[in-house]
Structure 1
Amino acid sequence: MTRRLRPVELDFAASAPLRLVFSVEVTASPRAVYRALAEDVTGWPSWFTAVARATPTDGGAGREIRLRGGVRLAETIVATQPGELYAYRVDETNVPGLRALLEEWRITATATGTRVRWTFAVDAPAPMRGVMRLGRPGMGVSFRGAVRRLDRILARSTAP
């Protein structure tokens, strides 16, 4: 059953009842990381193994995401700043209990490459937020592994 979530904007990343924030540094350039996140949506399954399929919708203004295990997400892009920021909210999902969800990817140049920070901002009933807090370590491992895989893919694609 598809559930409609409350529409939120970028400020929800700072004000959500639950915010899970993860970061990792990679050697790829901020522009290359941004392109992979925002411009090569269909490529997500090649580096983020939790994603089974990613499809741009509405002429690139949205995405349809299928996660392994059957989770479906219909998303709207809420912010893009090439080389710096990519954020989207979930409008519809088959996950019970969610009231609002926004994911923000911040990309920052470092002396040796890029710092990628992912904020998973959620509004859900207290018991579900508790379960999500318990899942935080696994989400962190999944995120860091995904971004490091992306870094290796980007390094191969720019190798001479």
Structure 2
Amino acid sequence: MLRRLRHEELGFVESAPIRLVFTREIAAPPDAVFTALAEDVTGWTDWFSAVTRAEPVEGASPGRRILLRGGVRFEESVLAADRPERYAYRVDATSAPGLRALVEEWRLTPAGTGTRMRWTFAADGPALFRVLLRAARPALGRSFRDAVTALDRKLAKG
């Protein structure tokens, strides 16, 4: 069963009680990376190993339905799709316990002929959730690193 989360906007990326920020440079250019993030939603399963299903949701408020390994589900609303520098979304409902609010932002900046990717995971939850999420930072960092490396490989193949 999905639980509704608190409705947050883009400003939450800077004001959230928990902000985990990860960066990495890859060879692919920003426009190609933006396309993979924002337009090829179903393609996330090809490069982000934690994602087992990703479906775009069309309508007045575009969004996504995401299924992670282990069965965690997210229903998300896109908050920003500013080609080629930013893609952000809010989780509206989830099966994940403890989460009260979550906004994720991907910032893309040119780095030579490639892209510097910055992923901000901005969340809120009760005290125990905050402690556990901070403890999970290294695992989230590895997941990010592995995902963007796989994305770069995918984009290099065309």
TM range (shorter): over 0.9
Deviations 1:68-124 (A, max 9, x none): 100000000001111100000000001121110000000000114100000000010
| Structure 1: runs of 5+ lacking an equivalent | none
Partner Cα separation in structure 2 for residue 112 and residue 30 of structure 1: 9
Q: How does 1:32-51 map to 2 (within 5 A)?
A: 32-51=32-51
Identity among equivalent positions (%) equals 60
In structure 2, the partner of 1:107 is 108
Q: One-letter code of the match for 1:48?
A: F
In structure 2, the partner of 1:67 is 68
In structure 1, the partner of 2:137 is 136
TM-score (normalizing by structure 2): 0.97
SS at match of 2:151: helix
Q: Compute the displacement of 1:58 (Å).
A: 2.5
Partner Cα separation in structure 2 for residue 17 and residue 97 of structure 1: 14
SS at match of 1:32: helix
In structure 2, the partner of 1:93 is 94
TM-score (normalizing by structure 1): 0.96
CA-atom RMSD in angstroms: 0.9
Q: How many residues align?
A: 157
Q: One-letter code of the match for 2:88?
A: A
Runs of 4+ in 1 over 6 A off after TM superposition: none
In structure 2, the partner of 1:3 is 3
Q: Compute the displacement of 1:144 (Å).
A: 0.7
Q: One-letter code of the match for 2:123?
A: V
Partner Cα separation in structure 1 for residue 128 and residue 122 of structure 2: 16
In structure 2, the partner of 1:31 is 31
| Structure 2: runs of 5+ lacking an equivalent | none
